Amino acid sequence: MECINQVSISGNVTRDPELRTGNVLKFSVAVNDRRKVDGEWKEVPNFIDCVMFGARAEALSNMIHKGTRVSIGGKLRYSSWEKDGQKRSKVEVAVDQLDFLSKGQQEESDDFGW
């Protein structure tokens, strides 16, 4: 059985992205999820950490801002480390594709070919 690691989400960027040394771009995307809370269905936000590498990361760093609506595709990436004697870990999306979405648009993109 073959395992596939592929993620596709769309939502709003939650903060201005951070371009780090070596063309590493980090940002977060808010994605809503419907859950039953106290007997009522409510929209609950999930905040997804994203990372992009290479020349595309540098080029997009000036185009993405807090509130930008995007659709991204990529792979889940797990990392763990130790800080102040405590083990920590996280799962983030390593972005392979990013499309800009117009306000109110969910699936159709402006497709900049990234």
pLDDT 10s per residue in the chain (114 long)? Answer: 788 999 999 999 999 999 999 999 999 999 999 998 899 999 999 999 999 999 999 999 999 999 999 999 999 999 999 999 999 999 999 999 999 997 654 444 334 444
Q: Is position 13 within any domain? A: yes
106 assigned to some structural domain:
no
**Domain count of the fold of the chain:** 1
Q: Which two tokens stand for residue 108?
A: 């159709």
Query: Can you give the CATH number for the domain in which 45 is found?
Result: 2.40.50.140
Domain that holds residue 31: 7-100
| Residue 66 neighbours by CB distance under 10 Å | 12
**pTM above threshold 0.85:** no
Give the C-alpha distances (Å, rounded to integers) separating 85 from 81, 82, 88, 102: 10, 6, 10, 45
Domain membership of residue 1 (yes or no) is no
